[in-house]
Each structure stands twice: as structure tokens, then as C-alpha cells.
């Protein structure tokens, strides 16, 4: 029997409040929890809900081993989101500062998808039905 497991990615960013505002504006994320501040005034974690999914943002703190994509020279993971309208989500993300890495187009594997880098260096695959 497999235990009930939920995986919630934690995105390490320089400024959790700025990142939280971006994800709320660009993805429609709802902020559901904000932890107390660490010594430098940044929250240690901000939890978000998007649809049925959850993710967190936390500050880069090198003494804790928490490093952002910029600290590492790039993102070590790809976050994939499946949406009804990949073009609209991609447009909204780029309007709020994300950069197109791979344009959103119909792909030979039967999906419409592309990739963006958010303003904090995290890579997102945006995918949905063919158009």
C-alpha cells in the first residue's frame, strides 16, 4: 500500500515577496501561507495554490544551502504546467517579466507547448491541447 504523498516544489528565489507577486499575477496563484520573517526581513516560505497544485517560494540563503538558479548558473529542474490555453498563460508570464526560451507551438507529440524562464531563473514548460 502506497502512503498518501504530495510533492510540493519549493522554488528558491532572491526575493520571495516579489516572486509571490509574479506568480499571483502571471499564473493566478493564490497565496495560502506566509511564514515569519528571517533575520534579513524576507519570509522563510510563501505557499501558493494553483488549481489543485501547491508550490512554495523561499529565499536564497547560502548558509542554509538554499541557492537560486542565478547562484547555480541556471535552473536544475523544469516545472511543467498543463493548462487549457498555453498561449494565454505564456503571454501573461512574459508580460510580467518571463523570457521565452522555446516558443509555444503545436508539437509533433500531440501537444501545444513551449518553455519560458521566469524572472527568477526557473524554467517552465507550458503545455496544453493542440490548437
Strand partners, 49: 30, 54
Which CATH number is 74's domain given?
3.10.180.10
- Indicate the average pLDDT of the chain: 95
**Structural domain includes residue 88:** yes
pLDDT one-digit tens code per residue, 2-11: 678 888 999 9
Q: Could you give the CA distance from residue 100 to residue 116 in angstroms, rounded to a whole number?
A: 4
pLDDT one-digit tens code per residue, 87-130: 999 999 999 999 999 999 999 999 999 999 999 999 999 999 99
Express as a percent the part of the chain with pLDDT over 70: 98
**Structural domain includes residue 2:** no
Query: 26 near 79, Cβ under 8 Å?
Result: no
Q: Could you give the CA distance from residue 43 to residue 55 in angstroms, rounded to a whole number?
A: 15
pTM beyond 0.85: the answer is yes
Parent domain of 42: 10-128
The total domain count for the chain is 1
Query: 128 near 107, Cβ under 8 Å?
Result: no
With a cut of 70, say whether residue 25 has pLDDT above it: yes
Amino acid at each position: 500500500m502506497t502512503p498518501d504523498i504530495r510533492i510540493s516544489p519549493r522554488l528558491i528565489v532572491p526575493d520571495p515577496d516579489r516572486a509571490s507577486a509574479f506568480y499571483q499575477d502571471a499564473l493566478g496563484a493564490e497565496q495560502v501561507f506566509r511564514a515569519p520573517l528571517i533575520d534579513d526581513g524576507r519570509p522563510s516560505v510563501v505557499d501558493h495554490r494553483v488549481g489543485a497544485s501547491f508550490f512554495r517560494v523561499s529565499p536564497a540563503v547560502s548558509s542554509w544551502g538554499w541557492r537560486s538558479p542565478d547562484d547555480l548558473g541556471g535552473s536544475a529542474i523544469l516545472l511543467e504546467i498543463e493548462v487549457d490555453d498555453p498561449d494565454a498563460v505564456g503571454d501573461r508570464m512574459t508580460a510580467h517579466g518571463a523570457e521565452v526560451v522555446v516558443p509555444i507551438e503545436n508539437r509533433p507529440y500531440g501537444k501545444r507547448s513551449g518553455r519560458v524562464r521566469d524572472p527568477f531563473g526557473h524554467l517552465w514548460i507550458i503545455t496544453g491541447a493542440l490548437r
